[in-house]
Every structure is written in C-alpha cells, then in structure tokens.
Amino acid sequence: MPAISLPTSIDATAELLRGGGYVSERALATSLYLALAMGRPLFLEGEAGVGKTEIAKVLAATLGRELIRLQCYEGLDVASAVYEWNYPRQIMAVRLAESGGKVAEAAKDIYSEQYLIKRPLLRALEKHDSGPPVLLIDELDRTDEPFEAFLLEVLSDFQVTIPELGTVKAAQPPIVIITSNRTREIHDALKRRCLYHWLDYPNAERERAILAAKAPGVGEKLGAQVVSFVQMLRGLELFKPPGIAETIDWAMALKTLNAKELDAGTVDATLGVVLKYQDDIARVRGETAAAGVESAKRAAG
C-alpha cells in the first residue's frame, strides 16, 4: 500500500482509524491527531486488552508506513533495542585479513556499517521509501528505569549515538506510539516528551460497534448479549477482567458453536475463552454466570 498523507483534522483521524477497523472515541482521535500534527510521541496508558497496541498497527496499515515494534521486557538493553556489532563476522574478517596480510585495513573496516546489526530504534531513525515509519514501543512499563532513561535522548532529539560511528539522527522523525499497562509508573521526564491519553475499556455501545467490525457474522442479538455479559464481568473484582480481544474471541467461539444467544450451559463451558485465570472462572461459573446471562438477555432486548 502506498504511503498517504497524515490526516488534517480530528474527523479525518477518526475516519482513518475506522478505515482500519478501529472504532475510536473522539478524545482518542483528538490526541492522535495532535500527536501527528505536532510530531510528538503519543503515550497510551491503560489496562491490558483495551486496544493500545492495535492503534499503532492500524495507523501503520492505513498510512502505508512500515511498523517497527520494540517489545519491552525486563532487562532490555541497548544491544537488543538499538544496535549491536556482528562479532562473528568481524572475527572472520580479521582472520581472513591476517591470512592475506591486510590486518591494518581490516582493523579500520570492522566497525563499519556492514557489520552493524540494526535493532528497532535504529531502524526507526533511518530513511524509509514509504515515509517515516510507525515506531511502537510496546509495554514500556516492563523495562527497567535505566533503559527508560536511555529513551530520553531518542524521544528528545530522535537520535542515537554509536561511539564507533557517531550520532545517527532521523531526517524525518518516526511516528511514535508508546504503550504502558501501568504495572509501574513511568518517569515524568519521559512523559513530558509525549502527549498522553488514558485508554479505558469501551462502553457497551462502542464495544458493540467494535464487535460488529471485528467479528462480522456473529449476529446482532448474540453480539449484544456477549457485550452485555462482558461488561458485567468487568464490574466484578476479577484478577484479570476481559479485554476487547477476549470479547471478540468469545463471540467468534460462540459463533463456531452455532450459538444464536447465550445460555448458562454454553457460558460455563466457554468461560476459558473470555477469562484466563482459574480463580476468575470459578468465581463466575454457576450462579453468577446464570444471572449474567439473564441480565444480558434483558439488556439486549
């Protein structure tokens, strides 16, 4: 898909997301439009499963840009996030040079770009034919604070320093989406470099629209009941409330079982699709599930 221009209004941004199957509330479209227009990273925070990562994927697809994803985890370092040297190739080059009597020449070349392994952050700063890529820094809260501090240079000046080669600076900054599930607080210094948006679970109306877009063929009646039941689950004190992905998976599972509407037996048998912890399943199965089914049927009409 060829690259297209950035949206020029909030409405155009919402339409861009809708074109990728993402049903957005206006507040999110506003934050995303401002981030694109101002060239600022967008920091998305919220519970797991509310669609934070999907925004970057849809944005890359609808704009025709490359998606570069940095999946964060504890212990993430520069070698995994930015670059590292291909030591086996460097050693081989030196040994070949020794056999040919050209050690001095090899010593000059082994720290050239041909031996550089480029990781996501460095690749995001390079020039791309389709335009600046979408850089997704996913689940930043999983990293350690030293790596978070390292990101400050990248997000401030869109550049990284490689001691052997110098500073690499983006001619055109990438579109940066940062997500956090808030398992720990991100430092204010990093947040100040971003625009911020809290992404919450959708209300019932928006979740029905999401389900209609992502799970066509489920049926309006069953879809409405599924959404109502999931909304009820999120009101319980569960260890892990279901996200939007679980709503879609459950609706598709029920469709696979040829269900036309919810019933207590089918709900009990399929709770493992929508809930991922046994304690949560045990709490909901039985009377709570039966009551939820009846409530969902009434709510769905």
- 153 or 160, higher pLDDT: 160
pLDDT of residue 108: 65
The per-residue pLDDT for 25 is 92
| pLDDT, position 281 | 96
Average pLDDT over residues 148-158: 87
Whole domain around residue 27: which residue ranges? 10-74+120-198
| pTM score, whole prediction | 0.88
Is residue 146 domain-shared with residue 279, that is, in the same domain? no
DSSP 102: -
Residue 301 covered by a domain? no
pLDDT tens by residue, 202-247 = 999 999 999 999 998 898 999 999 999 999 999 999 999 999 999 9
Together in a domain, 178 and 224 = no
Residues 211 and 278 in one domain: yes
| Tens digits of residue pLDDT in 32-42 | 999 999 999 99
18 in a structural domain: yes
Task: Compute how many other C-beta atoms are within 10 angstroms of the C-beta atom of residue 196.
Answer: 15
Q: What is the CA radius of gyration of the chain?
A: 24
Q: Are residues 51 and 155 in the same domain?
A: yes
Confidence of residue 29 (pLDDT cuts 50, 70, 90): very high
Report the b/e string of 44-53 with b at 16+ CB within 10 A: bbbbebbbbb
* The total number of structural domains that make up the chain: 3
- The torsion angles phi and psi of 11, rounded to 5 degrees, stand at -60, -40
pLDDT of residue 103: 61
CATH of the domain at 33: 3.40.50.300
Tell whether 233 and 291 lie within a shared domain.
yes
Residue 300 lies in a domain: no
Reading the block at residue 145, the tokens are 């604070």
Do 158 and 69 fall within a single domain? yes
Q: Which residues contact 58 (CB under 8 A, 6 or more apart)?
A: 17, 20, 21, 22
Q: What is the pLDDT of residue 161?
A: 87
User: Is the predicted pLDDT of residue 149 greater than 80, yes or no?
Assistant: yes
Asked whether residue 139 falls in the same domain as residue 67, the answer is yes
